Every structure is written in C-alpha cells, then in structure tokens.
Structure 1
Amino acid sequence: MDQTSHTPATRTPHRPRWRSLALLALLLVPLLWPVQHLAERYYRGVLIEQNRQTLDLYIANLLGTLRRFEVLPQILGDLPDLRSAMHAPTDSAILQQANQLLAQIREQTGADVIYLLNPKGHTLAASNWDQPDSFVGGNFDFRPYFREALSGQLGQFFGLGTTSGKRGYYFAYAMHEQERKIGVLVVKVDLDHTETLWGNTPEQLMVTDSNGVVILTSRPEWRFHATRPLSDEERANIAANQPYPTLSPRPLPFDPGAWLVQSSHLPETEWTVSIMAPRLLLDRPVRTALAVGGATLLVLLLLFSLLILRRRHYLERIALDARARAELEQRVLERTLDLEQLNDRLKQEVLEREQAQQGLVRAQDELVQAGKLSALGTMSASISHELNQPLAAIRSYAENAATLLDHQRTDDARTNLGLISELTGRMASIIAHLRAFARRDRHAPARVALQPALDDTMALLAKRRRELDVELSRDLPEATIWVQAGETRLRQVLGNLLANALDALSEKAPPRRIWISTEQHGEYIHLLLRDNGPGFSDDALEHAREPFFTTKTSAQGLGLGLSICDTLMRALGGELLLANHPDGGALLTLRLRLASPGVNLQPTEDF
C-alpha cells in the first residue's frame, strides 16, 4: 500500500492577519464622518424646534403682559376725579383724592405706577404718592412717551425710571377736553417678573430694543450691554431719552460660536427676542453618537476577527483530519438546515410580534388622539357659544357709546359702559366655570363643596341641555354639602355621568327630564342622578364598568367614561352604583363620604 496517502498535508504558512485588520479599521474610520454629520443635523433640528416653541411661549407671555395695560390710560382719562385734579391743580383735597384713586386702580390692575401729568410734564398725582420714590412733583417732559401723547398718539417707551431706578414699559395717552389736551395719563408696567419666568435652564433669554441694547435677559451680567456698535444718532437718542443707567452701553461679552441663537422680531415694540442654547447641548449628543458609532465599528472588527480565526481553525481541522471531512460537512449541512428552519420560525414570530405591537401602538395613539379631540371640541363649543353673545353685545354697546360721545350724550354713553361692565362680569363668571373644571387634581382627598361642583358641571353642559330641551329637576338642600373628594375628579365624574344622561335622552322623544337629589346614610351622602331615557340593558349593567364597553357607535364614544368614573370614585373612598329606576330610565348613585363644613382640608387645587 502506498504510504504517501497517509502523510499529513503540509501546513501553509499563516499570513499576518492582524495587519489586514488594521488596514480594514483605517478604511472604516472615515464612515464616522457621515455619522457625525447626520447626528449633528438631527440634534440641531430637535434643539431648534424645542427652542422655537419656548421662544413663542415667552413672546406670547410678554405681549400679553403689555397688552393688558395698553388701553388703561385711555379708559382712566374719563374718570371725574382725575379730570377734577387737572382743573384744580392747587387744591390739595382734590389732588389727594386723585392720589388715592390711582393707588386703588394700581392695586386692582397690577400696574407698577400710574401717574397724572399736566401739559408741561409736571406730575400732579401718582399711585405712589405716599412712597419715598413718589413721582409727585417730578417733571417728565423729556420722556418720549409724554411728547407722543401730546401729539395725539399712544405713547410707548421702555426705560429705567429716573426716580425709582426700576425698569418698566410706559403707556401714555392724552386727556382731552373738546379739542384741547388738558393732561397726560401714564401707566408704568413692571417687566422684572418676565425674567423670573425663565427659570434655571441651560438656554438663555435676551430681549434687545431698537438700539440693539439688552433690556431683558436671564443673565443679569448681560443687562444694558450693546449687541452691536451704536450710531451717532442712536447715542444722541439715548442721551436725550435716558432709557438706560448708562449713556454708553458697553459691548456684550458674547461669543457667537459658543451659542445657537434663534430670534424673533416684535413689530409692536421694535424689540428682538432671542433664545440662545449653549453649543454644548448639541455637541454632547453628537459625541455620544460618535462614541456609539465607533463602538459599533469596533464590535464589527472584533466579530470579523473572530470569523477569521474560526475559519482558520476550521481549515486546520480539515487539513489534519481529511477522512472526517465528509462526515463533518454532512453534519454541518444538517445543522445549518435546522438552524435555517429555526431562524425562519423565529423571524416569523418576531414579525408577527412586531406587527401586533405596531397595531397596539396605533390603537393607543388613535385612542389618545380621539380623547384629545373630544375634549378640545367640548371646550371649544362651550367657550364659543357662551362668549360670542356677550362679545357681540359689548361690540354693539361700545360702538353706540362712541356715537353717543360724539353727540355729547355722556349720560347715555355711561349707561352703555355700565352694560359693558355687566357683560364682562358675565363672561368672567363663564370663564370661572371653565377654569374650575380645568384645575389640576391632587391625589389626597380634600373637603369639597358638592353644590358648586354640580353647578360648574351643569354650566358646561347648559348649551347641550337647552338644545335637547331637557328639563332639570333639583332637590338639593340649601345648606352646602361638604364631601371628601378631589375637586377636579368630582367634576370629571359629574361631567361624564351627566353627559351620558344627555346622550341617552337624545335617543328619546320629548319630554326629556333629569332628576338630581341627595339622601344621607350615616357618614355617607348619596347623590342620585336619574333620567327618563331608555335605561340600562341587562348586558350593560353587567359590563358597564369594563373599559371599552359601550352601546354607542365608535364616533360617539370609546366606552371609557363609566370605567374612569368607577375608578375615580373608588380612589376617593366612594362608590358608583348603576341601576334602572322602577318608573323607567337609568338611576346612578354616587356614594361619597361626608366632611365637616369649613375650609378645605388641603389648599385649593392649582391650575
């Protein structure tokens, strides 16, 4: 027998494989550049969008603060006590009365200072008449707002108070007597609190005026610094109007490369509001993405090296044991086939799980969106219907008042203003109902008055009740009933139950009625809500508390109302009972624990 057939195969010298791995690593490193570029573009977009929303919110708050006081000088100009002060500038009693009136208006409106100037700019009366920094006796004819008011415009000006040393925004309007201007009313608005709203965040806020000087900022060291070189004309205006504590604002110590800046111009005030995010907020996630990318490449290299080593050992084993090669290949083939089949099954299971998860996520998103749209529609309809009528009436009375003033019919005009005041009171009452319904809840039960909560809920549903012509019968004690509950949770339960009652009555022909009454049982009070609708079916009574059970169409409800109400009542230590009344219709009973009369156990819920 030929002995050469059993001679082991000569081994091939190994090539330097680690040199190949190093070369491959150098080729893969440039892939980190597009990773960095894509990560920077993505995180920059996210940061810009977040800062844009924050900037819009701050601008809305700032403009809202200014617009609250914009028309105040025009309204105060018609007050008799202030006009008397203009006609009798030497009468101390009249001036004292004007001082007290301005102080009272300042307390009611929240303005910083309100003061009255004669046509020469001398202060006759001021809301801070009794303060060490009183404006009384001061002359402000050098201020631009005084000159603009005397020229017939609404004077507007930002500046540092020469007397108080405080920043503020000034609104001024001339007082007219026929064609003659007899004085100027000025309202100063304190803007310091707008800086405190920013909070302690990495992003910084900066508001600059038309001169490019920082007037509001979240960093006090930037205040009253110039963001650009000032022209000679701007320096002259600063010297004449004295809006800052210095006549030559120093340049702002600001490195543009260290910040991402977004700005918005306000035409009403000629201000520019900017939000600046530190570059670190962008660089940090980009570096993290690069680290993850580098780690991924390193793992790939390690896996590739392991594959190379495994292949080398596999080839060596084939060279040493040629006779077992066929058997080994067969086993590998069989094992590979089993693994492929198992892999296919695993892929199919993973695909099915992913599809089920995606379906669940879509269903949850649609459920949340439906809840948001439902709440938004209800609140929008209530606000639109309840406020449009008084707003239309206010517009009509205001137009009539202007016409009456043109015809010197001041008494009739005053009557119209009184009607406008009554209508605004009505609108405030409507908004109070909506605000009470929208308060944030606290987890611990508090002492809550039952009748006001029921009144607020019925006020929100009044429009729909009138549309359905539903008669409401209330049999409640005159004395206030105090229960232990969460104020917002109780309103949510009452709103859901009464809305369900109206839904049930919409399926019935008139007459439609709802009865509300109470019964005391020991330390509990039972609030009974009954309607003359179709009532509960046996299936509904059995499953009504289960989530997503509903007898309505998908467009009418999601089947979560009674489930949520039952959960809330149990959390409050109460109970929700469902039944049909012997005379027909549904009967719902809220079982609440009584609380002793008095103030709340906990502070009123915040907004």
Structure 2
Amino acid sequence: MPASLPAPTLPRRPRWRSLALLAVCLAPLLWPIQHLAERYYRSELASQNRQTLDLYVANLLGILHRYETLPQILGGLPPLREALASPRSSAAVDAANHLLKRIAEQTGAEVVYLMNTTGDTLAASNWDQTDSFVGRNFAFRPYYRDAMDGRLGRFFGLGTTSAKRGYFFAAAVREGEQTIGALVVKVDLDHTERLWGKTPEQLAVTDQYGVVILTSRPDWRYRATRPMSDTERSAVEATLPYPTRAPQQLALAETAWLTQNRDISETGWTVNLLAPYSLVERPVRSALAAAAGALLVLILALGLAMQRRRNYLDRIAFEGRARQQLELRVAERTGALERLNSRLKQEVLEHEHAQQKLVQAQDELVQAGKLSALGTMSASISHELNQPLAAIRSYAENAEVLLDHQRTEEARGNLKLIGELTARMASIIAHLRAFARRDHHAPESVALQPAIEDALALLAKRRRAMGVELVRDLPDAPLWVQAGETRLRQVLGNLLANALDALTEKATPRCLWISAEKTAEGVTLCLRDNGPGFTREALAHAREPFFTTKTRTQGLGLGLAICDTLMRALGGELLLANHPQGGALLTLRLRPARPGANLQPPEEFA
C-alpha cells in the first residue's frame, strides 16, 4: 500500500479588518439604490393603475350610455301616453305596467316608471312587488325637475322606497308641444363594484359633493372625502341622495396610499384608484436586499481572492507530493481495471445468450397472445352485434306490416333506420378490428346528450315492454367530452342493456335513473337502477372477461370488460357500486373537451 498523503498546512486567515472597513465604505451606496428603486416601482405601479382606471371608467360609461337615451325613446310609446291621458282607466294603467315590466326585463334596467305632471307615479315595472313605485311622488328629485324643464334628467341616489342605490335617467313625455309627464329609468350600479374583485388596490367613486358612492370598501361608502359647503349641504337635504343627511368625513392617510383619479364630466363624478404604498415598499425592500446581498458577495469574493492568493504557494508544494502518490495509485488501479475488464467480457457473453433466449420466449408469447385475442374478439363481435341485429329484425318485421297496410313513408323510415344500424355495426367491427391491431384513434369532441339519446332509442322498445320508468337529470347545455362517437355509444348501450337485464329479476315498479354533471375534473355520468344490485363477488370480478352472473344463453360476460377497456382507452374511468337506497350504480368519468360541431341528436327510432 502507498504511503498516506501528508497533511496540508492550514491556510492563514484573511485580513477581516480590511474587509469590514471596505463594507463600511460601500454601505452609503445603498441609499441611492433605494431612491432609484422607489422611483421605478412608483412609476410602474402608476402606469399599471392608469390602465386599470381607464378600463373601469370605460366600463362605467358604457353602462350609463346604454340607458341614457332609453327614456327619450320610450316616451313616445302609445300605451304610456294613453295612461297619462286617462290615469283613471285601470285598463290603460295596467297595459302601461305590463309594458314597462317587459321593457325592464329586456333592457336589464332596475326599474322603469311613468310620472305625471305633479310627480305622482302612474305606472312602474315593479307594480306587482311590495316596494312598488306606483302612487308615490318623486317631484322632489332633481331628475324630475330637469325632465319637466325639457332636459335629460340625471341623478344618483338611494331609493326612498326600495332603499337601493341607483342612477336615474329621466326624459319628458310630450303630446305635441305640451309636456304631459316624465319617464324615468333606474340603473343598478351594484355590479360595477363586484367587477373590481379582491385586489390590494381600492376603488372609490365620488360625486359632485365629494361623497363616496361606489367603492370596493363598504366602510368607505357614503363618506365625505372633503368638507361640504352650506349650499351643498342644503342640496343634499333637499334631494336625499344618501341614507344620511350629513355624511361623515373619511380620513385617509396620504402617505399610505398612491392615488390616481379620472373625472367624468357627464355625471360630475371622480373615479379614484388608491393603491397601498406597501405595493411599492415591498419590491423596494427586495431590491435593497438584493443590492446589499450583491455588496456582501463582492466583499466575500475579495476575501476569497485574498485567501486563494495566500494559499497558492502552499498548494504548489502540496500538488508535488500528491503527484507522486497519484502515480502509485494509478499503477494499482490499472491492474485492477484489467482484471475487471476480463470479467466484464465474460458477463457480456452471458447477457447476449440470455437476450437471445428472451427474444425467443417473447415470440412464443406474442403468438399465444394472438390466439387468445382472436377468441376474445370473436366473442366481443358476437356480443356487440346482437343488439343492432335484434333491432334490425324488429324494424324489418315492422316495415313488412307497414307495407301490407300501404304505409310506405313509415316503412321507408324503418328502412332508413336499418341502414343506420348496419352502418353502426360496420363501425363497431372497424373499432374492434382497430382495437385488435392496437390502432388507437385520437379522441374527438363528442356531445354526451345525443349519445345517451341514441343508446336509449336502441333500447326504447324493450324498456317500454318491461314497463321501466326512465328518470333523466341532464343539463340543457351540451356536455362535450373527449371520446370516440361510436365507442361512447357502444359503452352506453352495453351499460343500459345490463341495467334492463338486472330489472327483469325485479317486480314492478322498475326504474332507471340517468344523470350527468360537469365537475372540476371533467364530466360525470351516473346510471342507476332499482334492481338487485351487485353481489360482493360481482363487484370483485365484474371487470374480468367471461365473468357473468347470467346463464350461457343470456350473455358471455364480456359487456363490462369491454366497457372498462373502452373507457380506459378514452382516458376515462368506469366505477361500479351499489346505491345506498338499493340497486346498482355505475359512474362514468370522462375527460372534458371543447365544443365541437355535432350538436344534432340522432333521429328517434320507430
């Protein structure tokens, strides 16, 4: 054995006092870095909030502009003029009420109501509600006075009847040159607050009096952002736009918020976006920490450089001694490698011999698998084609009877259905052939409801003959899943046929439930019957080929095995269980897909 290496000499410590002095000299550089980072992040936050503020203002103006011209347009409707001309006619007032209700439902307005020249409400879209405006006088509102003066009335305030805030548009209803009343549209602005969402930035829309009317902070609502003059207080007491006559002052620390605002000249409002200063302080602290870390790394790098320079000479001597020791170790390792190489060659020869035997065994296993797959495929084709063949025979017999009675159109419909069933049989055979060749088709977007209707149509005659009640709970909107259209119908047909087979053992009433829903993971379809359900043995072995609880004349035990194989090929899952209220419960979990083009359900079978 070679002699051990001599212990290296301990490196001398660097001059840490010099490094500490250097750190003290470089520390003042952090102040301008902090100042520059603060200016940069303030500018970035202001630019981002400016775009957000523009989007919110545009959305708010879009909502108001949509209803702005509505009172002027609707004021010329004959039913409204007739109600103003004949206020004591219950028929005229009732027609106006129903018309205003339809207008409110179609336009999305909160309330639409009609007032006479004294400010009394004759008709309203909420005439049939407990907080109806009918019979109430709103002559004190500014929008009514503006409308009677021939101007478009605008006003934001809290409803004295409904206690709900909203924005009011009002326009005069004229008969020639004479003003006979006013039509008012109230717009609900609550959803504009909900659009803001949960963000650090806060929204506050103030009116011409400086009072917050829309905000993302409920505790700011109806708080004054500035002192009001005596004239403004009198206007507030006269028009009652808020739930209080004297709004409390909203105290906000100017140093805690970065504020940006936009004025809306049409309404006299100011939209304010307040961003907490912490959004700037956090990245500034991160930048300052990064700069301090960089300075620390620089100081440590200088210290390491000094340390490496001091150790350079010691390392040269150490490497000279290590080189001699290494030459001795190389000589020993060379001999060991030669012996290991000889042993490795022998192992490679043995591995090649074992590989040849493995290839031969694999060839024999593939041949045995082909013979097994051939038998399974034959049984699968027989099982899958029994249902369409039975349907074709039924339609052919029905067509013969229809032709005897000269009902050619109905017979032609049966023949068309026979053609569709033969096409389906060909598709099933093609898919079984492709399955045998391991030819995996790419999944496509398939609408689930039409596939269910197709499978039910194939078994409709048998279900009605058995007196099975069908209970559906399917959404109206199409549920799109990733599947093959023929394979999905094949799975549904097998599962529904098994359910009907189970119900033959039960006396009436017989029920079959079908429900589907869209979940976060995909689409879930549940099939349930009130039959005897699964036994413990059936739940353990139902997915195995040729396992069945039926007689040999009733089935081969391939249905659930084929369904399970097809579901796994489609990326889905088939779950078997018993329902707590009795009967079997089968759950299909399918992957979601984007909406496709196949929305038409199949034709109903005769």
Code of the aligned partner of 1:445: S
Tell me the TM-score normalised to structure 1 length.
0.51
**Which runs of 5 or more structure 2 residues have no equivalent in the other structure?**
1-11, 321-442, 450-477, 490-569, 572-595
2:151 counterpart of 1:153: yes
* Counterpart check, 1:41 vs 2:28: no
Q: Aligned partners of 1:50 and 1:130: how far apart in 2?
A: 47
Q: CA deviation at 1:258?
A: 1.1
The answer to whether the 8 A contact 1:484-1:595 is kept is no
Is residue 261–residue 276 contact of structure 1 (8 Å, CA) maintained in 2?
yes
Among candidates 99, 106, 124, match of residue 101 of structure 1? 99
What amino acid is aligned across from residue 50 of structure 1 in structure 2?
A: Q
Could you tell me which residue of structure 1 aligns to residue 136 of structure 2? Answer: 138
| Among 8, 23, 26, the residue aligned to 2:24 | 26
After TM superposition, give the deviation of residue 34 of structure 1 in Å.
2.0
CA distance, structure 1, for counterparts of residue 34 and residue 310 of structure 2: 36
- Is 1:164 paired with 2:168? no
Distance 2:479 2:122 in 1: 55
Instruction: Decide which of 49, 63, 69 is 1:51's aligned counterpart.
Output: 49
- The one-character-per-residue Cα deviations of 1:151-202 (angstroms, maximum 9, x if unpaired) are 1100000000011110100000001112110000000000011111111111
Indicate the residue corresponding to 2:241 in structure 1: 243
Determine whether 1:68 maps to 2:66: yes
Q: What do the CA deviations read for 1:12-70 (whole angstroms, capped 9, x no partner)? A: xx999322211110111111112212222222222112211111111111111111110
Equivalent residues in 2 for 1:326-345, closer than 5 Å: none
> SS at 1:276's partner residue?
strand
Match of 1:283 in 2: 281
Q: 1:446 to 1:115 in 2, by over 3 A?
A: farther
Structure with more contact order per residue of length (Cα contacts < 8 Å, sep ≥ 6): 2
Pairs within 5 Å for 1:262-301: 262-301=260-299
Matches of 2:142 and 2:215 in 1, distance apart? 24
CA contact (8 A) 2:14 2:306 kept: no
Contact 1:205 1:276 in 2 (8 A): yes
In the TM superposition, residue 314 of structure 1 has moved relative to its aligned partner by 4.4
Q: Is residue 159–residue 244 contact of structure 1 (8 Å, CA) maintained in 2?
A: yes
Q: CA–CA distance in 2 between the matches of 1:239 and 1:291? A: 55
Alpha-carbon RMSD:
3.4
Aligned counterparts, 1:313-328, within 5 A? 313-314=311-312
Distance 1:109 1:305, change over 3 A: same
CA contact (8 A) 2:14 2:303 kept: no
Distance 1:446 1:35, change over 3 A: farther
> Could you tell me which amino acid in structure 2 is paired with residue 218 of structure 1?
S
Contact 1:206 1:274 in 2 (8 A): yes
The aligned residue for residue 206 of structure 1 is 204
Give 1:85's aligned residue. 83
Deviation at 1:309, TM superposition (A): 2.3
Post-superposition Cα deviations, 1:244-291, rounded to whole Å, max 9, x if no partner, equal: 111111011322211111111111111111111111111111111111
> CA contact under 8 A between 2:14 and 2:307: conserved in structure 1?
no
Q: Is the 8 A contact 2:448 2:480 kept in 1?
A: yes
> Cα deviations across residues 124-158 of structure 1 (Å, max 9, x unaligned)?
11111111111111111110001111111000000
Q: Which one of the candidate residues 109, 123, 128 is aligned to 2:126?
A: 128
Task: Indicate conservation of the 8 Å contact 2:60/2:192, yes or no.
Answer: yes
Q: Aligned pair in 2 of structure 1 residues 523, 278: CA closer, same or farther (>3 Å)? A: closer
Alignment of 1:208-607 (within 5 A): 208-314=206-312, 445-447=445-447, 597=601
Q: Structure 2: which amino acid aligns with 1:31?
A: L
160-169 vs 307-316, greater mean Cα deviation: 307-316
Cα pair distance change 1:35/1:171, threshold 3 Å = same
- What is the DSSP-based 3-state SS (H/G/I as helix, E as strand, rest coil) of the residue aligned with 1:186? strand
The TM-score, its normalising length taken from structure 2, stands at 0.52
Alpha-carbon separation, structure 2, partners of 1:521 and 1:102: 52
**In the TM superposition, what is the alpha-carbon distance from 1:316 to its structure 2 partner?**
8.1
Question: Between Structure 1 and Structure 2, whose CA radius of gyration is higher?
Answer: 2
Letter in 2 for 1:48: A
Report which stretch shifted further, 277-286 or 77-86: 277-286
2:172 paired residue among 171, 174, 186 = 174
For 1:164 and 1:444, the matched residues in 2 are separated by 52
Check the 8 A contact 2:213/2:222 in 1, yes or no. yes
The separation in 2 between residues aligned to 1:593 and 1:219, in whole angstroms, is 45
Contact 1:222 1:253 in 2 (8 A): no
Distance 1:97 1:42, change over 3 A: same
**Separation in structure 1 between the aligned mates of residue 163 and residue 444 of structure 2, nearest angstrom:** 46
After superposition, what is the alpha-carbon deviation per residue over 1:79-98, rounded to whole angstroms, capped at 9, x for unaligned? 11000000011111211111
Instruction: Report how many residues are paired.
Output: 338
Counterpart of 2:99 in 1: which secondary structure? Answer: helix
The 1-side partners of 2:273 and 2:209 are apart by 18
Secondary structure at 1:445's aligned position in 2? strand
The verdict on how the C-alpha distance between 1:101 and 1:484 changes in structure 2, with shifts beyond 3 A counting, is: closer
C-alpha contact (below 8 Å) 2:159/2:166 kept by paired residues: yes
| C-alpha distance in 1 between matches for 2:486 and 2:190 | 55
Identity %: 60
CA distance in 2, matches of 1:241, 1:484: 52
Q: Secondary structure at the match of 1:139?
A: coil
Distance between the aligned counterparts of 2:597 and 2:145, measured in 1? 65
* Structure 1, unaligned runs of 5 or more: 1-13, 325-442, 450-482, 488-519, 525-571, 574-591, 600-607
**Amino acid of the residue matched to residue 81 of structure 1?**
P
Counterpart position of 1:190 = 188
Query: Is 2:173–2:183's contact at 8 Å kept on the other side of the alignment?
Result: yes
1:502 maps to which residue? none
Shift of 1:594: 6.4
Cα distance between partner residues in 2 of 1:315 and 1:247 = 88
Q: Is the 8 A contact 1:259 1:277 kept in 2?
A: yes
